[in-house]
Amino acid sequence: MASWQEKFKHLKEEINSFKIENQSSLEEFRLKFLSTKGLIKESMSWISEVPKEEKKNFGLLANEVKQLAERKFQELSAQMNSKQTDTKRYDMTMPSSPALIATRHPLKIIEQKIIRIFSQLGFAVQLGPEIEDDWHNFTGLNTPKDHPARDMQDTFYLTQDLSYLLRTQTSSTQIRVLETQDVPLKIITPGRVYRNETISARAHCTFHQIEGLYVDRQVSMSDLKQTVYFFAKQMFGSDQIRLRPSYFPFTEPSAEIDISCFICAQKGCNVCKKSGWVEIGGCGMVDPQVLINCKINPDEFNGYAFGMGLERIAMLYYQINDIRHFWHSDLRFLSQFKSEFP
């Protein structure tokens, strides 16, 4: 039979090696060692087997083991408490903080609005490439080499012979579509364009346009005017439009599109520079040469085209005074714009 010393040694080992995972194993520890029916209490009864002269040593050792068990219990419950307060910090029932939902870029919102308006009139969306060749960006659009209209549209050329470039206008998609699709057709083409421009509050070397093209039989200038009017009314709530004679190589006749100032109702303000009118783009009847370039018979078909700068429309619509805001990725700016569309 084991001696009382051995039994205490064994008891100490048991106490030391007891592992606590959770609240209920802490309670198991208490029941096993410290309760009235626990091993510490029981160990006191071993005294009956101890010879008189050893009783004092027994008492010392019994006390030591008891203290060991109590200390361990305190340590373990402190440990459990701190664990509990750790988990208490996370109240699983609390509603979570709202997830930040990104907003659309204002130019995308405006693009969507414009597409919505023109799709009501039956225009389909067509996209064209940003890297273009000379034919689609210039020559096909009746702007051959050495044409003075090229001066206003210097861009980033990609090859030494100037045959590939970053497109200067979405009008290039007109040629792509007319070459590959059957007429009649009615398209709008939004997208990014590039020019060799000094960056300022009003101009950027990278910007966006949206182009419209309608080719059919017997298209008239009044169809063009009505389309532009519908757009101005839907987009800005303008009551009047004005087509001012202008020049573009690919339309004849050509015009600048002005809409009545929707900010001051033509009383005169900063936006319309006291004129009552704001310019939003260019337009005209498709030059027959453009149709010929795309192997379409101009005696049978004709059409109109128009082009607008998206930044210009967005700046008017939201009254933004510096085009560079669109490029700064500043959330204080971007988060102000909310899309009406999903």
Which residues contribute to the site for ligand DAH (CB under 6 A)?
169, 171, 211, 248, 251, 282-284, 305-307
Contacts of residue 313, Cβ cutoff 8 Å, sequence gap at least 6: 110, 114, 235, 280
Say if residue 253 is preceded by a cis peptide, omega within 30 of 0. Answer: yes
Q: What is the DSSP string of 236-257?
A: H--S-EEEEEEEETTEEEEEEE
Which residue in the block uniquely carries the two structure tokens 């379409």? 296
DSSP character for 96? P
Residue 142 or 171 with smaller CB distance to ligand DAH: 171
Burial class (CB in 10 A: 0-12, 13-18, 19+), 32: middle
Contacts of residue 254, Cβ cutoff 8 Å, sequence gap at least 6: 245, 246, 247, 248, 282, 283, 284
| Least distance to ligand DAH, CB of residue 284, Å | 4
| Least distance to ligand DAH, CB of residue 96, Å | 49
Residue nearest to ligand DAH (CB): 307
| Least distance to ligand DAH, CB of residue 267, Å | 29
Helix axes 106-119, 310-318, angle to 10 degrees: 100
Residue 111 or 211 with smaller CB distance to ligand DAH: 211
| Least distance to ligand DAH, CB of residue 104, Å | 25
| Least distance to ligand DAH, CB of residue 276, Å | 23
Residue 66 or 167 with smaller CB distance to ligand DAH: 167
Whether the CB-CB separation of 185 and 125 falls below 8 Å is answered with no
| Least distance to ligand DAH, CB of residue 213, Å | 7
Residue 142 or 238 with smaller CB distance to ligand DAH: 142
Helices (H), the chain: 4-17, 23-29, 39-44, 55-88, 106-119, 134-137, 172-180, 221-236, 288-293, 310-318, 331-334
| Least distance to ligand DAH, CB of residue 257, Å | 9
Residue 190 or 284 with smaller CB distance to ligand DAH: 284
Residue 207 or 277 with smaller CB distance to ligand DAH: 207
Q: What are residue 131's DSSP bridge partners?
A: 166
Residue 40 or 117 with smaller CB distance to ligand DAH: 117
